[in-house]
Amino acid sequence: MQDIIHLLPDSIANQIAAGEVVQRPASVVKELLENSIDASAQNIQVIIKDAGRTLIQVIDDGIGMSATDVRMSFERHATSKIRTSDDLFEIRTMGFRGEALASICAVAQVEVRTRRLVDEIGSLIRIEGSELKNQESVSCPKGTNFQVKNLFFNVPARRNFLKSNPVEMKHILDEFQRVSLAHPEVAFSLYHNDVEVYNLPASKLSRRITDIFGKTYREQLAGCQEETPFVNLSGYVGKPESAKKGRGEQFFFVNKRFIKHNYLHHAILSAFESTIPEGSSPFYVLFIEIDPSHIDINIHPTKTEIKFDDERAVYAIIRSAVKRSIGVYNLTPTIDFESDINFGNMTSTGRFTDLPKPIQSSESIYSDFEKNSTSFQPSKNDYNPVQQSNTNNWQKLFDGLDSFKLNNQAKIEFEPDDAPLTLGSKANDLTEEGKLVSAMDEVSAIQIHNRFLVAQSSGGLMLIDQRAAYERILYEKYYNTLKNKSSFTQQLLFPKIVDLQPADFQLVLEIKDEIRSLGFSIEEFGPNTFKINGVPPEVQDESEKEIFEGLVQQFKTNQADLRLDKSENIARSFAKRSSAKYVVELSKIEINLLIHQLFETSVPGYTPSGEPIMTILTLDKLAELVLKK
């Protein structure tokens, strides 16, 4: 029988590796920037065309390469940083596995010009699809000029999976921001389609933050510093009053390498506990310096996920340092650090004991939620598009409510002055005499602290979260508006100008059609700027700029945490943003309208993100609470 196992050709093996390393143009930008940093460059220029599809060019003034090195750099697993297995545990450079350049040249047309300081003449090499086209000597400046043209030219299926230019450009800007923040001592510039997006001179970290995110951050920063035998921490956190809805700008760097770590993010949120509003997150740029032997950075191709050999110790140090920073800069009321600083539990090796366990993943939290819920338990699918329905038998909660007759021939909308938003509902129908149907009064409900509603149900008491109820109602209104493209716009007498960060500007370009479908009238008004000419009618009494920026922030949060299509994300984001203003006092009629509208939605028991809106206290549970001795 003929043998069937054989070695893959290098060109195919490189394309497979490219599938892990080169996911999109931003992946190429990241790898090339990190190579320039490893080459000790002090000035780095990035030139992008068509969001990286046509050209990605990175020019640096680093140490350059010899003619032999530049050819060897494109071989798989060719590296200047690893000699023995022990070197894997002492890595402080960005690249080390020798996969990036081989993967890039497998799916693009690559041209490199490079020269070392000691050489009088440099080298030019051209490679297409892993095939060497030519190599020759050329005159060029010291450093390296790396051009990646026509990405995925030989893998059309991969090229077709790229997103729109604004989306791909946003990812490029994200990678550029991360590398430039990690190395403020290096000057960076970025151009897209011959337009300058960033020009960042070499500076201190605080200056680099304001150069990237805007001058408004200048007054928001508080230094954060901590040194221990195990780990050193430095950087800046934002003042509590500057916290934004959603995730905002948050950056962790370990040995100057950007990482994503939910457990350490939880440490920051824990330090800011009770100082920022619920659902908001603070700004931070924090650097962790740790012996490389205590971490494993080789667990993911993009190296954005790492493992610590003692995560709980790092958690405690970060939480303690951030709390101390808040106190030193008088950002919050007096905080008792002694009771919660955890340094009393440090061992002689620099470790901590009795610290919180890593937080659960979203999947395990959801499974616990399902197990413990006793009422209104939809499946996960119920949280998505509103076509699904889970309203069976809800009428039984309101015995007698459906006993009245509605006159469908004479409908007008009932909405008192200054009342919270009310949406179309049978509860709004009027009798022939023009009076609100008196049966609405049969829903006996009261409001508690402008936040919760308590109503009598057939089996006990029903407690409703007022804000969450409005979020569900508004979500379905906005989702249907986007689906049917039936929005209305209130034109502004004086248009508002909104300046955005470059990454946010690219994001809005991608979702501007959905934003307009909600009722916003927006247009581009210069670099990274939009002009708001109109807003949806229900938000005309609010700050148009804050509404717009809040919508973008919430969209980014949903985009990072959830996999949603644009319409679903926009509807959720705007509902979340708008529902916060409805924590107000309601009249009896408004309470009844809210309850009636809630139970006409597809999933009245849960918000679009799966948070419970209500709970039922049965008579047995009430008796247990009252009579318990």
DSSP 553-584: HHHHHHHHH----HHHHHHHHHHHHHHGGG-S
Percent of the chain residues past pLDDT 90, beyond the cut? 26
**425-464: pLDDT as tens digits:** 433 343 333 333 333 345 578 888 888 998 887 778 889 9
Interatomic CA distance for residues 613 and 587, integer angstroms: 20
With CA atoms as reference, report the closest residue to 142 among 120, 163, 170, 112. Answer: 120
What SS3 class is residue 291?
A: coil
Structure tokens at 494: 């004086």
Contacts of 159 (CB under 8 A, 6+ apart): 53, 151, 152, 153
251-268 per-residue burial string, b: 16 or more CB within 10 A, e: under 16: bbbbbbbbbebebbbbbb
Dihedral angle of Cα 379, 382, 387, 388, to the nearest 10 degrees: 30
Give the residue carrying structure tokens 């849960």: 606
Give ∠ CA 426-430-433 in degrees, rounded to 5.
Answer: 160
Outline which parts of the chain fall under CATH 3.30.565.10. 10-202
Structure tokens at 556: 């980014």
Interatomic CA distance for residues 355 and 319, integer angstroms: 11
Mean pLDDT over 306-314 rounds to 86
Beta bridge partners of 135: 125
- Residues composing the chain: 629
pLDDT attached to residue 23: 86
Output the DSSP codes for 201-240.
-S--HHHHHHHHH-GGGGGTEEEEEEE-SSEEEEEEEE-G
Dihedral angle of Cα 593, 595, 596, 599, to the nearest 10 degrees: 150
Say yes or no to pLDDT of 477 above 80.
yes
Please tell me which of 231-235, 418-422, 435-439, 574-578 the model is most confident about, judged by mean pLDDT: 231-235
The count of other CB atoms within 10 Å of the CB of residue 585 is 9
Higher pLDDT, 85 or 130: 130
pLDDT attached to residue 340: 39
User: Phi/psi of residue 43, each to 5°?
Assistant: -135, 125
Interatomic CA distance for residues 338 and 344, integer angstroms: 9
Please give the CATH architecture assigned to the domain spanning 206-359: 2-Layer Sandwich (3.30)
Outline which parts of the chain fall under CATH 3.30.1540.20. 378-629
Outline which parts of the chain fall under CATH 3.30.230.10. 206-359
Contacts of 103 (CB under 8 A, 6+ apart): 14, 17, 18, 20, 21, 22
pLDDT attached to residue 177: 94
Interatomic CA distance for residues 234 and 229, integer angstroms: 15
Beta bridge partners of 464: 453, 614
Structure tokens at 11: 């060109």
**138-164: pLDDT as tens digits:** 999 999 999 999 999 988 888 888 888
With CA atoms as reference, report the closest residue to 329 among 239, 218, 235, 234. Answer: 239
Beta bridge partners of 498: 530
Higher pLDDT, 257 or 391: 257
pLDDT attached to residue 334: 36
Interatomic CA distance for residues 15 and 217, integer angstroms: 43
The count of other CB atoms within 10 Å of the CB of residue 337 is 13
Homologous superfamily of 10-202: Histidine kinase-like ATPase, C-terminal domain (3.30.565.10)
With CA atoms as reference, report the closest residue to 132 among 67, 63, 59, 40. Answer: 67
Higher pLDDT, 591 or 148: 148
Contacts of 68 (CB under 8 A, 6+ apart): none
518-546 per-residue burial string, b: 16 or more CB within 10 A, e: under 16: bbbbbeeeeebebebbbbbebbeeeebee
Please give the CATH architecture assigned to the domain spanning 378-629: 2-Layer Sandwich (3.30)
